[in-house]
């Protein structure tokens, strides 16, 4: 790696070149997956849906009985500084909190100093082929734990699901439980019924409460579109007018193929185009 590509990263109070940022082998994030993460999009050098990500971060940390070492205002200031120092116009900010480092023991010391890592990653988010072409999803059993509302770093089931999907030429895995789609391996799932109703699961312990979901549903409500928060099956998706996913790294993208079956005419539909345009406009207007 050349000097020009060495990023500045944040580690426990210090801004460091990425090759000088080192963590303990005793970190509980490494040993137990005892940690929480957030991924925030950056467009035009600004953070997208930042307040939503900070609210979810605080909640996830609280749900595991942790505590952030600094305030979310301080975190946002660090994220902005990293975006600026790394000249990041478009991409992602990754944040990881862990319970901290000490000798391996399932029981942890209450006074442990948490670990906080933040780094930026360049990525084209807006003008990607998927917007015009759509994505293909493959359904498979949801093998995750029962508290998916917590944005835990234990992502092995998602890593394996995505690998299995990709091996068969699909872009994303859809995770199925009791015959219903919970969500994508790293995205929220939606269908639009033939009578124009947007359907996505209600938030619960079964899925991650998506920040992009929150923003998209708010825009849909403002537009007066019909919404139903309920689970749906793969068969219902195959018969739907449109299928979508949302995530911080994709914003909103159309799914044009589910398990090999084309959705509608196999092209991204009009409701998707409308909400993508609305989302992008809103994301820029509210970016910080
Ligand atoms: N993943 N569901 C799951 C399981 C996810 O991992 C994600 C995001 C989402 C969408 O949430 P949001 O709109 O807040 O990004 C839903 C991130 C992008 C990731 O792991 O990279």
Measuring from atom 11 of ligand 1, which residue has the nearest CA? 210
Q: How far is CA 132 from the centre of its chain?
A: 21
Is residue 249 in contact with ligand 1, taking CB distance under 6 Å?
yes
Total number of domains constituting the chain: 2
Check if 151 is active-site.
yes
- What's the CA gap between 64 and 9, in Å, rounded? 25
pLDDT at 5: 87
Is residue 246 in contact with ligand 1, taking CB distance under 6 Å?
yes
Domain coverage including residue 158: 129-286
Domain shared by 23 and 145, yes or no:
no
Structure token pair of residue 117: 């890592």
> Contact, 118 vs 93, CB < 8 A?
yes
Domain shared by 70 and 166, yes or no:
no
Domain shared by 139 and 81, yes or no:
no
CATH of the domain at 28: 3.30.470.10
- What's the CA gap between 204 and 181, in Å, rounded? 13
How many beta carbons lie within 10 A of that of residue 152, not counting itself?
Answer: 19
Q: What φ, ψ does residue 257 adopt, rounded to 5°?
A: -150, 125
- What's the CA gap between 76 and 91, in Å, rounded? 16
Distance from Cα 64 to the centre of ligand 1, integer Å: 18
How many beta carbons lie within 10 A of that of residue 205, not counting itself?
Answer: 11
pLDDT at 4: 60
Classify strands 135-141 and 172-177 as parallel, antiparallel or unpaired.
parallel
Max alpha carbon distance in the chain (Å)? 58
pLDDT at 1: 42
> Contact, 1 vs 19, CB < 8 A?
yes
**Which of 107, 122, 137 is the C-terminal boundary of a domain?**
122
Q: Which residues pair with 139 in a beta bridge?
A: 174
Domain shared by 21 and 112, yes or no:
yes
Q: Divide the 288 residues of the chain into consecutive groups of 10 and give the mean pLDDT of each group.
A: 78 98 98 98 98 98 98 98 98 98 98 98 98 98 98 98 98 98 98 98 98 98 98 98 98 98 97 98 98
> Contact, 61 vs 53, CB < 8 A?
no
How many beta carbons lie within 10 A of that of residue 5, not counting itself?
Answer: 9
Domain shared by 99 and 25, yes or no:
yes
Which atom of ligand 1 is closest in space to residue 188's alpha carbon?
16
Measuring from atom 3 of ligand 1, which residue has the nearest CA? 186
Domain shared by 190 and 252, yes or no:
yes
Output the CA angle 164-169-175, nearest 5 degrees.
Answer: 45
**Which of 122, 139, 174 is the C-terminal boundary of a domain?**
122
Taking alpha carbons only, the member of 104, 118, 97, 153 closest to residue 21 is 118
- What's the CA gap between 249 and 287, in Å, rounded? 15
> Contact, 237 vs 252, CB < 8 A?
no
Q: What φ, ψ does residue 243 adopt, rounded to 5°?
A: -135, 140
- What's the CA gap between 251 and 249, in Å, rounded? 6
Is residue 35 in contact with ligand 1, taking CB distance under 6 Å?
no
**Which of 92, 122, 152 is the C-terminal boundary of a domain?**
122
């Amino acid at each position: 790696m050349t000097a020009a590509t060495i990023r500045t990263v944040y580690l426990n109070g210090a801004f460091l070149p990425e090759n000088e940022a080192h963590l303990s082998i005793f970190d509980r994030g490494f040993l137990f997956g005892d940690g929480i993460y957030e991924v925030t999009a950056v467009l035009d050098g600004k953070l997208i849906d930042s307040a939503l990500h900070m609210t979810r971060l605080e909640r996830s940390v609280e749900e595991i009985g942790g505590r952030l070492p600094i305030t979310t205002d301080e975190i946002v200031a660090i994220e902005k500084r990293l975006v600026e120092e790394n000249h990041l116009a478009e991409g992602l900010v990754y944040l990881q909190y862990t319970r901290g480092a000490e000798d391996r023991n399932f029981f942890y010391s209450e006074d442990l100093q948490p670990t906080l890592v933040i780094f930026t990653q360049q990525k084209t988010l807006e003008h990607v082929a998927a917007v015009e072409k759509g994505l293909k999803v493959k359904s498979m059993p949801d093998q995750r734990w029962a508290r998916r509302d917590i944005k835990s770093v234990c992502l092995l089931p998602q890593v394996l699901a995505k690998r299995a999907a990709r091996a068969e030429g699909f872009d994303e895995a859809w995770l199925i439980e009791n015959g219903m789609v919970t969500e994508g391996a790293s995205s929220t799932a939606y269908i639009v019924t033939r009578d124009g109703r947007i359907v996505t699961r209600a938030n619960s312990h079964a899925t991650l409460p998506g920040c992009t979901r929150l923003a998209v549903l708010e825009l849909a409500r403002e537009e007066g579109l019909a919404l139903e928060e309920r689970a749906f099956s793969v068969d219902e998706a195959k018969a739907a007018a449109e299928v979508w996913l949302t995530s911080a790294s994709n914003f909103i993208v159309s799914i044009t193929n589910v398990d090999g079956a084309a959705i509608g005419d196999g092209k991204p539909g009009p409701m998707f185009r409308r909400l993508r345009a609305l989302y992008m406009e809103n994301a820029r207007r509210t970016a910080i």
